[in-house]
Amino acid sequence: MRLLIIRTSAMGDVALTVPVLAALRHQYPGIEIFLMTQKTFKPFFVSIPALEFYFPDFKGMHKGFSGLLRLFYDLERSVKPDLVIDLHDVLRSRVLGVLFRLKGTPVYRINKGRSEKKSLVTGKKKVFLKHTVERYSDVFRHSGYQVDPEKQRCIIPGVQELSAVNPMLGIGMLNIGVAPFANHKLKMWPIQNMLDLLARISNYKKCRFFLFGGREDLGMMATFTEKVPGVVLIPEKLNLSQELALMSRLDLMITMDSSNMHMAALCGAKVISIWGGTDPMAGFGPWMQPDSFSIRVPVEELDCRPCTIYGKGMSRRNMECMMRLTPETVYKKLLYLKAI
């Protein structure tokens, strides 16, 4: 049996396929698994044996509708799947699904629970929805593969990557990762708040802070090196494989609702996440982390939360959800959780 699994973006959503694909490989060792995703994301899957990849070229030969047809024929020729699992459910993957069905190949698609998420945002039903990892698992279950996702560390860096980052770690101090950035404003805690929080932590205990983000964030990161002692800027030093290795060695990771949150959790780090316009009840919380580690204003106190599922849009109350989370509030929560 040859399975083609489709999930090409976004970074955090691709990372969340790891607990499912790792379990699929362990529970069904005899099947061939092909993952269609972006080449950039390959380091997420380093610890899953015998996983094959197909990297589409959406900016070149697979661009546009004609490119999509070529992608289908390329997949048919190189992968020859017996079953297609669509974990993305976007226009591109839907068209591919139609083409595979016309060829007689079964296709199973994720149920994203759009109506449930809409009810969560509109305030009709404030309940915890199924986690994205479980939604991924459901697709396999419906196709006949009873997959129970991994519930422990499932991104395991290699020896070479660990040896590259181990010298960076401080001895006799806390090694804390910090990911203060997110793709959308509604997920961003004010930078000054994060600076104040790190100052409080460093006054309490000796720390080394590792600042994660994209190269586009380097200008803003300079503020941290100027105002907080012991800050190391990761985008200048490490590739993705090495970043994952470093995350696996941290004492703590402090993040927004972002891909770094998911990556750190999957690497086995203790993750404290700060939430504003979004909420883990939508199914995107860090995998297998206690809910108490997700710091946010309760919906009972601020019933406009969450005002968005993915972070897009406008705040309903001028970012009150983030403004109520003062550095002192988050610091006290870290102490209460014994995270520092």
- CATH number for position 113: 3.40.50.2000
What is the per-residue pLDDT for 215?
Answer: 87
165 and 110 within one domain: no
d(CA 48, CA 43): 10
Which of residues 143, 178, 194 is at a domain's end? 143
What is the per-residue pLDDT for 245?
Answer: 98
Which of residues 113, 143, 173 is at a domain's end? 143
Are the beta carbons of 43 and 241 closer than 8 angstroms? yes
94 and 239 within one domain: no
What is the per-residue pLDDT for 124?
Answer: 86
Tell whether 296 is covered by a domain: yes
176 and 137 within one domain: no
Phi/psi at 179 (5° precision): -125, 85
Tell whether 38 is covered by a domain: yes
Tell whether 154 is covered by a domain: no
215 and 70 within one domain: no
Which of residues 143, 170, 205 is at a domain's end? 143
Owning domain of residue 97 = 2-143
306 and 237 within one domain: yes
Are the beta carbons of 17 and 36 closer than 8 angstroms? no
Phi/psi at 19 (5° precision): -60, -30
Tell whether 148 is covered by a domain: no
289 and 206 within one domain: yes
Tell whether 27 is covered by a domain: yes
What is the per-residue pLDDT for 106?
Answer: 98
- pLDDT tens, the chain, 340 aa long: 999 999 999 999 999 999 999 999 999 999 999 999 999 999 999 999 999 999 999 999 999 999 999 999 999 999 999 999 999 999 999 999 999 999 999 999 999 999 999 999 998 889 999 999 999 999 999 999 999 999 999 999 999 999 999 999 999 999 999 999 999 999 999 999 999 999 999 999 999 999 999 988 988 998 999 999 889 999 989 999 999 999 999 999 999 999 999 999 999 999 999 999 999 999 999 999 999 999 999 999 999 999 999 999 989 899 999 999 999 999 999 999 999 9
Q: CB burial class (10 A; 0-12, 13-18, 19+) of residue 84?
A: buried
176 and 139 within one domain: no
132 and 169 within one domain: no
222 and 125 within one domain: no
Tell whether 199 is covered by a domain: yes
256 and 203 within one domain: yes
- Residue type at position 226: E
134 and 224 within one domain: no
Tell whether 151 is covered by a domain: no
Are the beta carbons of 283 and 135 closer than 8 angstroms? yes
120 and 180 within one domain: no
d(CA 68, CA 250): 42
Tell whether 149 is covered by a domain: no
Number of domains observed in the structure of the chain: 2
